[in-house]
Amino acid sequence: NALIKARAAFDHTGLPTIADDSGICLASLGGAPGINSARYAGTRVDEDNVAHLLEELTAVGANSEADRRAEFCCAAAFVADGIEHVELGVWPGTVLPAPVGTHGFGYDPVFRPDGYEVASAELTAEQKNEISHRHRAFTALLPIVREYLVKSTIIPD
């Protein structure tokens, strides 16, 4: 999806374009919600999507922490004249049995990142932005974009 978005924007504008797509994936749900994360419950309402995710986990008997392993994934794409490049950022963790925290959006209230004792909704924006799947994807994409911009003399070396 990220590459489709970046191609469409590049084709429309002719300008170098960056786009991304993100989702949360659980092996116990066959990779769902995945690219359907934003509308998993049929709406774009975060609370509905979280509730639906928890219901689905209960329905498949995903009661243990191992059954609730999850990954936030972000594909970040760069499209420009003669280049198409995609980087993937993965943020592993566990889905909690109930929402906690007030920061963030989406599935943050039920996602506890590996190495933390709190949900991502309990992290500050600064903390989350330093470790998230988006941070990882865009950090990996940055050298590609920079190289293109330098070669294009858009920015000095």
Span 73-87, pLDDT tens digits:
999 999 999 999 999
Mean of per-residue pLDDT scores for the chain? 95
Look at the chain and report how many structural domains it folds into: 1
Which residues are catalytically annotated?
21
As a whole number of angstroms, the distance between CA 121 and CA 95 comes to 12
For strands 17-25 and 83-95, give the pairing.
Answer: unpaired
Confidence check: pLDDT of 138 > 90: yes
157 in a structural domain: no
User: pTM to 2 decimals?
Assistant: 0.90
Number of CB atoms found within 10 A of residue 122's CB: 18
Domain that holds residue 135: 2-151
Looking at the domain assignment, is residue 86 inside a domain? Answer: yes
In a domain, 47, yes or no: yes
Mean pLDDT in residue range 13-41: 96
Per the rule left: phi > 0, alpha: psi between -120 and 50, beta: everything else, 34 is left
